Amino acid sequence: MLRIEPLRAFSDNYIWLIQDEGSRQCAAVDPGDAAPVMAWLEAHHEWTLSDILITHHHADHVGGVPLLKAATGARVAGPAGEEIPERDLALSDGQTLSVLGRSLQAIEVPGHTAGHIAYFCGEEHPWLLSGDTLFAAGCGRLFEGTAAQMHRSLQRLAALPAETLVYCTHEYTQSNLRFAQAVEPGNPEIAARCRQVDELRADDQVTLPSHLALEFRTNPFLRVDQPDVRAAAAAQGLLADQSSPEAVFAAIRAWKDRFQ
């Protein structure tokens, strides 16, 4: 089995390092800063970086690519619909690539950016590299896409197996759960997750990966069909059509944008 380890970058980014013990090869996911990856490679000199996987074009996800590419010659894969530095493989929806002997599928998930992709591996225990689309207890801001696009993107990811591990790229879990509690104050699953995450963060521990089954129970953006979520959105005065899950999603995304 592969090992997936977080390397911290900037204030709250994670660069996921996927490691194959047998081949001593690894892949870096969204390296906005080359330094954490280079430091790991220097400390593990028998390992080589074979691949760099990019979910979208934002600088905190691609800033380290040129240096890493120059230093290691790693193959760079990223979304076909965005400008990705040093990209060797441009991926569109449904395309697959082999990374460390595993087959990964590209899933187009526009919303945060126009061409954002996620990577899904359904082999062994399924896992997802969700970038800035699906967060633990949250979802990404709408910088280039629409609420309708993001809702559809999340529904695509929600259709994956419930046991899928979710590796997103920011440590936003604690703040996302505060919002989730505001949306569903009576949800005991959210309250329990808040307590667990608060304990982890008090010790500066990583709260990821999550898994889809937990997100279905605690992530308001995957719960827009629930009566309590619809009622909370309506109470904010942002909801014109309570019958539409897409409208509920747009309302709570707007609420989250101004939530303190």
Q: Which residues are catalytic?
A: 56, 58, 60-61, 112, 132, 170
Separation in Å, CA 73 to CA 27, 57, 65, 197: 12, 20, 10, 38
58 is annotated as contributing to ligand binding: yes
For residue 170, say whether it is annotated as part of any ligand binding site.
yes
Rounded Cα–Cα distance for residues 136 and 129 (Å): 12
Residue 12 assigned as binding residue: no
Backbone angles phi, psi at 109, to 5 degrees: -135, 65
Choose among 55, 86, 91: nearest CA to 71.
Answer: 86
The annotation status of 112 as a binding-site residue, yes or no, is yes
Contact between residue 22 and residue 13 where contact means Cβ atoms under 8 Å apart: no
Give the pair of three-digit tokens for residue 74: 């790693």
What is the C-alpha to C-alpha distance for residues 212 and 236, in angstroms, rounded to an integer? 27
The beta-strand segments (E) located in the chain are 3-9, 13-20, 25-29, 48-53, 75-79, 89-91, 96-99, 102-108, 117-121, 127-131, 134-135, 138-139, 165-168, 210-211
Q: What is the CA radius of gyration of the chain?
A: 18
Tell me the two tokens of residue 191. 């309250």
With H, G, I as helix, E, B as strand and everything else as coil, classify residue 227. helix
Is 57 among the annotated ligand-binding positions?
no
Q: Is 116 annotated as a binding residue?
A: no
Is 61 marked within a binding site?
yes
Count of CB atoms within 10 A of residue 185's CB?
Answer: 11
The annotation places the binding site at 56, 58, 60-61, 112, 132, 170
Give the residue ranges of the annotated binding site for Zn(2+): 56, 58, 60-61, 112, 132, 170
